[in-house]
Structure 1
């Protein structure tokens, strides 16, 4: 969802790295493993492709995304979730569970977009990821970001100890699950607002090009779901 790097969609394995890795090593391995590489040129693209259902929709490449991108990637490393449609949905559900919506609304909205896709594909895994997030903490707060930036030589195990499933109880658990129901409703609304017009446009465009209707609606086998 967030990544500014070019993605090799054939990489499907979980992002599991040894706890003995340093944070800098883990980030470097994460980029290598997933086929990411820096964008060529001095200017960032104006838009970035975001998974929304069966489509990749261009979204504005805004400053908030740049600010938090590294820490979103760190969440993939901490949780082991992949960078495919399902994995992005999982890490977004996890982030929402940790309170990302209250850290920055833009982060929350981006999480909702990925959650909508992930929930359509693997609803149980989204619920499990959210539950995991309820007893974890994200790295989006200023103190955590500063710690990560200043401690690249720290072991991954240390950050996991501080952030991953470190809470014994969930404060007001019933309300947190009601919160998830609200998130899911908003995610489905966003999904409908973005995807339905795009699908109609696709059908009309293909029909005007003379494509048979059965070919227009036939699902395409995808390699980027993981």
Structure 2
């Protein structure tokens, strides 16, 4: 039963990174595919754009993000979730399922911001990603971070065996789903606090620039959903 469930989860998340690929090779391919700098240090501006609903809102690029960004990227590599609005929502739901909120509260809050966008767009996929996280583990603990830093030549499959969908059961599953409900509530609260003022500012600025109101509120075609 567990193996069948695991196969269904994997079928929903195609992954471009071959299991035989080394961690270093996977990082290089990930950065190249997504147009990031070749190393994490190339992505350290003062602010970073965060998907919040239909807007990209600049947030302070704080030290905690710098510290864990490399390992967050590895989660994308392991799971196959993308860096688009839905993909970032999925990886955030997955990380919350693995216990990121208890690893570091700031990580959890950043997850909630992305989860709010993903949940608005496709709640079913966020639920599936959280469920997948419940039987997985993140790479944010010190021992795993050190292992990744020292074993760049190791294969993706080796890290997957350690972290991805390896738990045969979930301890107190009803409590973990209650936890998810609370996460959704806080995510939607954060969404309203961030999006509403940003949307008002956008409307006012467009009106001052002489744009027709219908053009302001018309949803723009986006290529970053996935």
Q: What residue in structure 2 maps to residue 185 of structure 1?
A: 185
Q: What residue in structure 2 maps to residue 144 of structure 1?
A: 144
Q: What residue in structure 2 maps to residue 211 of structure 1?
A: 211
- Output the CA distance in 2 between the equivalents of 1:127 and 1:166: 19
Structure 1 residue 203, shift from structure 2 partner: 1.4
- The answer to whether the aligner puts 1:155 opposite 2:155 as a matched pair is yes
List runs of 5+ in structure 2 lacking aligned partners.
1-12
Task: Return closer, same or farther for 1:33/1:44 CA change in 2, 3 Å cut-off.
Answer: closer
Q: What residue in structure 1 maps to residue 23 of structure 2?
A: 23
- Contact 1:119/1:126, CA 8 A, preserved across alignment: yes
Q: How does 1:1-226 map to 2 (within 5 A)?
A: 15-38=15-38, 44-226=44-226
1:157 is paired with a residue whose SS is: helix
Structure 1 residue 44, shift from structure 2 partner: 3.6
- Output the CA distance in 2 between the equivalents of 1:46 and 1:143: 29
CA deviations on 1:48-104 (whole Å, 9 max, x unpaired) are 111111111111111111110110000000000011010000000000000000000
Alignment size in residue pairs: 213
Task: Return closer, same or farther for 1:116/1:63 CA change in 2, 3 Å cut-off.
Answer: same
Structure 1 residue 138, shift from structure 2 partner: 0.2
Q: What residue in structure 2 maps to residue 3 of structure 1?
A: none
2:56 is paired with a residue whose SS is: strand
Task: Return closer, same or farther for 1:44/1:19 CA change in 2, 3 Å cut-off.
Answer: closer
- Contact 2:51/2:57, CA 8 A, preserved across alignment: yes
Q: What residue in structure 2 maps to residue 9 of structure 1?
A: none
- Contact 1:97/1:131, CA 8 A, preserved across alignment: yes
- Contact 1:15/1:82, CA 8 A, preserved across alignment: no
- Output the CA distance in 1 between the equivalents of 2:203 and 2:14: 35
2:59 is paired with a residue whose SS is: strand
TM-score (norm 2): 0.90
- Output the CA distance in 1 between the equivalents of 2:43 and 2:134: 37
- Contact 1:52/1:117, CA 8 A, preserved across alignment: yes
1:175 is paired with a residue whose SS is: helix
More helix, by proportion: 2
- Contact 1:22/1:154, CA 8 A, preserved across alignment: yes
